[in-house]
Amino acid sequence: MNTEASATYEIKLPQFEGPFDLLLFFIERDELDVYDIPIAKITKDFLTYLHQASVLNIELASEFIVVAATLMRIKAKMLLPRKDLDESGNEVDPRQELVQQLLEYKRYKEVLDELRMLEDERAKMFARGNVEAELEEIAKSWTGEAELHTLTLFKLLTSFEKVMNRFEEQKKRPVHKVTNYAYSIESQKSFLTNLVESEKDIPFARVFEVCENRIHAIFTFLALLEMLQQRTVVVKVGMGVNNFWINRTS
């Protein structure tokens, strides 16, 4: 049996909310002591996960990269012969800050799990569902006699005024009208193509002689601009003002 193959694991999907969630998964999976983390093993597992995520083209958040660098820094510190000392001369454990962050994250996670359970319990509760039916029964049993006793001419005129104002507001609403013109840029391009193929040195004003109105002229001008951009026609400029002709591209 290949011990290396049996010791490996595979994580196919990014099921972890953050790097500390992944570290807690490794600690709980291998039943490690959070106060005495084997930093070499957990660093190897963490980097293996990052490598597999990169192979699967999973985009990693910057927090994972930062924690990976922190683990490698702690591992390097633990390999140094000279350990850091505190004010009392005691040896400082490089893992201490990481352990505190993991414990704090674990407490927050437990609180979130508790709140999630409370939310699920609240979702199972249903509000009273017969309120609408009761209101409907009350409305059916009420004849409106009490309202008729308090009815006055002023109330009638006020209600009539509201109705008339509503009619006036409806009349003042803007009405949008969509006009479907019988022209299009494609049809005008076909017209211009036939024109330049049958004649040469066509005056610019000649192009708009067949236009029925301003809208027709605008479509024709837009079609001419598009044909100039596509280089299917060329413009030859002469002397004077508005003195140029249109020809097809040779």
For 68-127, write each residue's pLDDT tens digit: 787 787 777 777 766 666 667 677 777 788 888 888 888 888 888 888 888 888 877 766
What are the residues whose beta carbons fall under 8 Å from the beta carbon of 37, sequence distance 6 or more? 27, 95, 98, 99
Indicate whether 109 and 10 sit together in one domain: yes
- For 46-53, what is the mean pLDDT? 80
- 159 located within any domain: no
Domain assignment of residue 233, given as a range: 185-248
Q: How far is CA 179 from the centre of its chain?
A: 36
**Rounded-to-integer distance, Cα 228 and Cα 237, Å:** 14
Confidence at residue 65, expressed as pLDDT on a 0 to 100 scale: 77
Least confident of 159-163, 200-204, 240-244: 240-244
Indicate whether 206 and 115 sit together in one domain: no
Least confident of 11-20, 36-45, 122-131: 11-20
Is residue 219 a contact partner of residue 184, using CB atoms and an 8 Å limit? yes
- 179 located within any domain: no
- 161 located within any domain: no
> pLDDT tens digits, residue range 173-218?
887 777 777 888 898 899 889 988 888 888 888 888 888 888 889 9
- 234 located within any domain: yes
Total of domains in the chain: 2
Indicate whether 7 and 116 sit together in one domain: yes
What is the crossing angle of helices 39-55 and 62-79, to 10°? Answer: 150
**Rounded-to-integer distance, Cα 117 and Cα 52, Å:** 33
- 127 located within any domain: no
- Kindly state the tokens that stand for 237: 């400029």
Residue 12 — very low, low, confident or very high, per pLDDT cuts 50/70/90? very low
Residue 57 — very low, low, confident or very high, per pLDDT cuts 50/70/90? low
Strand order in the sheet with 244-248: 202-203, 244-248, 233-237
Confidence at residue 143, expressed as pLDDT on a 0 to 100 scale: 60
- 64 located within any domain: yes
Is residue 34 a contact partner of residue 103, using CB atoms and an 8 Å limit? yes
- 173 located within any domain: no
- Kindly state the tokens that stand for 39: 């930093």
pTM over 0.85: no
- For 221-246, what is the mean pLDDT? 83
Residue 243 sits in a domain whose CATH number is: 1.10.10
C-alpha torsion angle, residues 53, 55, 57, 62 (rounded to 10): 40
